[in-house]
């Protein structure tokens, strides 16, 4: 049995986690000014270098706005955030997302993956179909929800790659963690077989190069989840 090596988080990572928790809990409200780096370092028992690096990272993720000669302010992360911000929200909530965040991810998938199907299917070669089928077979052979969720992501991600649009795969991959988490929850609630049937139904239309029917099958499955007919919401 091969066990993974354990690695302790760095002071910078611990600092960011604590500061994000302060913001997400509302203890540091949007618009509020942070104390100086020196004051934060003294209060938290870390170096100014750790504080400086952590604040820069949080600004990149949309949690802070750093104004030269004025200081750091808590930003409206709902407007300035990235997919990394979403991961921080998930981690703060114990790996869970609220109903609105889940619904928003599904709606985004509805738009982007419909486009991917419409672009990819007319240009697929037999070799491309074989690659997609390989992801389906990998999904079928998985033994646990996490592996199955990752295989499901790879199946849909491959369609984005084959679309020929250079941005779609990048956007897909930036949402890998939350999307995979939602597929894992789907499997835990409704079983791997149900998701497998959905993927097979989509694959059959892709294999036949039937764009309209593939889009219909995909959209119907996602809409069922959005509406709560096949719910994955935590509430």
Domain residue spans of the chain: 11-82, 96-227
The CATH code of domain 96-227 reads: 1.20.120.530
pLDDT score, position 83: 79
pLDDT score, position 1: 52
pLDDT per residue as tens digits for the range 22-58: 999 999 999 999 999 999 999 999 999 999 999 999 9
Distance of alpha carbon 154 from alpha carbon 132, whole angstroms: 9
Fold for 11-82, please state it: Arc Repressor Mutant, subunit A (1.10.10)
Distances 97 to 31, 134, 208, 231 between C-alpha atoms, Å: 24, 31, 36, 13
Q: What is the pTM of this model?
A: 0.78
Q: Which residues of the chain have pLDDT under 70?
A: 1-6, 235
Q: Provide the sign of the torsion angle of the four alpha carbons 154, 155, 158, 160, taken in this order.
A: negative
**Alpha-helix residue ranges (DSSP H) falling in the chain:** 11-24, 37-44, 48-60, 77-80, 83-92, 99-120, 126-141, 145-162, 168-174, 176-190, 192-207, 211-227
Distance of alpha carbon 54 from alpha carbon 46, whole angstroms: 11
52 and 11 Cβ atoms separated by less than 8 Å: no
pLDDT score, position 97: 81
pLDDT score, position 92: 82
Length of the chain: 235
pLDDT score, position 62: 92
pLDDT score, position 156: 97
74 and 29 Cβ atoms separated by less than 8 Å: yes
């Amino acid at each position: 049995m091969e066990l993974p090596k354990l690695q302790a988080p760095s002071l910078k990572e611990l600092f960011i986690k604590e500061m994000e928790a302060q913001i997400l809990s509302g203890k540091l409200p949007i618009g509020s000014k942070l104390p100086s780096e020196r004051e934060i370092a003294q209060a938290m028992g870390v170096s100014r270098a750790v504080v400086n690096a952590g604040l820069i990272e949080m600004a990149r993720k949309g949690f802070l706005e750093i104004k030269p000669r004025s200081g750091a302010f808590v930003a409206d992360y709902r407007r300035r955030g990235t997919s990394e911000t979403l991961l921080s929200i998930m981690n703060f909530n114990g790996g869970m997302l609220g109903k609105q965040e889940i619904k928003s991810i599904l709606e985004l998938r509805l738009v982007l993956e419909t486009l991917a199907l419409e672009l990819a299917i007319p240009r697929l070669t037999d070799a491309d179909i074989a690659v997609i089928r390989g992801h389906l077979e990998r999904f079928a052979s998985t033994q646990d929800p996490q592996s199955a969720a990752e295989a499901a992501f790879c199946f849909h991600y491959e369609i984005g790659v084959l679309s020929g649009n250079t941005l779609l795969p990048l956007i897909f991959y930036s949402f890998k963690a939350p999307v995979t988490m939602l597929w894992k929850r789907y499997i835990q609630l409704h079983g791997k077989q149900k998701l497998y049937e959905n993927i097979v139904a989509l694959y059959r239309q892709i294999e036949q190069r039937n764009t309209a029917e593939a889009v219909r099958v995909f959209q119907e499955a996602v809409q069922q989840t959005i509406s709560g007919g096949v719910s994955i919401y935590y509430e």
